Amino acid sequence: MAVVTNTFISTSAKGNREELSDVVSRITPEDTPIYSMIEKESFKTTHPEWETDALAAPAQNIVTEGDDYVFGATTPAVRMGNYCQILRKSGIITGTQDATDNAGSVEQVKYQKLKKAVELRKDVEFAIVDTNASVGGATRESGSLPTWITTNVNRGGSGTNGGYNSGTGLTVAPGPGTQRAFTKVIMDDVMMQGYNAGANFRHLFVSPYVKSVFVTFMSDNNVASFRYAASSGKNNSIVANADVYEGPFGKVMVHPNRVMAGSATLARNAFFVDTEYLKWGWFRKIKEDKDVAKTGDANRFVMLGEGCLKITNERGLGVAADLYGITAST
């Protein structure tokens, strides 16, 4: 009998040495800052739809005493939707390897299931910050965050908005512009646009490099410096960090996002978020498929989930796009 392709066998394991410590360090970070922060919903369909609305702009409102009523037109809400994408991780481990008392239990099925579930959460974060438009059909794809935002934006030269297309029922990917450095001017501009649009930005998600650039805003002549004394009897510290920006249009917490450091494409956006308007919905929550058949002397497992973003109103979100997000030139 042939061994099924990609079966993990005991001779491939690296931890089956009795002398090794039963401690395994997972180097890959589990951080999913956006997904962890936003509200979760349950969907009853793979193509959830919702309505979004906005208040009329303020205007002069004066009527004559005794005037008869005049009834204004009702503006219908805008119908929007997204597509739930299927996320999946799987593995297969021989019975021998699963029974082996190995260092840290890293090859055992239970640990691998947990590891795959953590990886799926990180893939959800990737789906949120990616730049892909929504796709229907059998191979569905959730429209990523930057494909929705059109109101509160600051883009590099020749950069274009994407947005939701009510005709096709799909989002459109934004067009890349000329990359530039993240600056306080860009940050204040997006926050001002958001303020004017009625947003209350509370969080800013950026790549680790952009977070390091944000910290340099402390050297700006228009930014108040801060000092505080080190605790007596403790080691002295050099403080070169800032997590909160309080500007003319509100206060935001700045969060570095390791997933956004995965590529220059992911890192080029900085997302301003009012969490009231951004949610993740599950059609099928992450779980193990218990119906996977066992064949041969090996344990197979599949972890999967199905869900998508829900943007209740893109005016509550913002983006500073086309930034150098990896280095000073990429």
55-107 pLDDT tens trace: 888 999 999 999 999 999 988 889 999 999 999 999 998 888 888 877 666 66
> Per DSSP, which regions of the chain are E strands?
39-42, 49-52, 78-81, 85-94, 152-154, 163-165, 170-172, 203-206, 244-247, 250-256, 270-273, 278-288, 298-311, 317-320
Whether the pTM exceeds 0.85: the reply is yes
* Segments of the chain scoring below 70 in pLDDT: 1, 10-11, 13-30, 103-107, 221-222, 224-234, 238
- The percentage of residues in the chain with a pLDDT greater than 70, rounded to a whole number, is 88
pLDDT tens profile 230-271 = 555 667 776 778 899 999 999 999 999 999 999 999 999 999
> Would you state the pLDDT for residue 21?
44
pLDDT value for 105? 60
Contact between 326 and 264 under an 8 Å Cβ cutoff? The reply is yes
Q: In the numeric block, which tokens belong to residue 13?
A: 């394991």
Domain boundaries, the chain: 30-47+79-222+239-320
Q: What is the pLDDT of residue 231?
A: 59
Tokens (6 digits) for 325: 């997000």
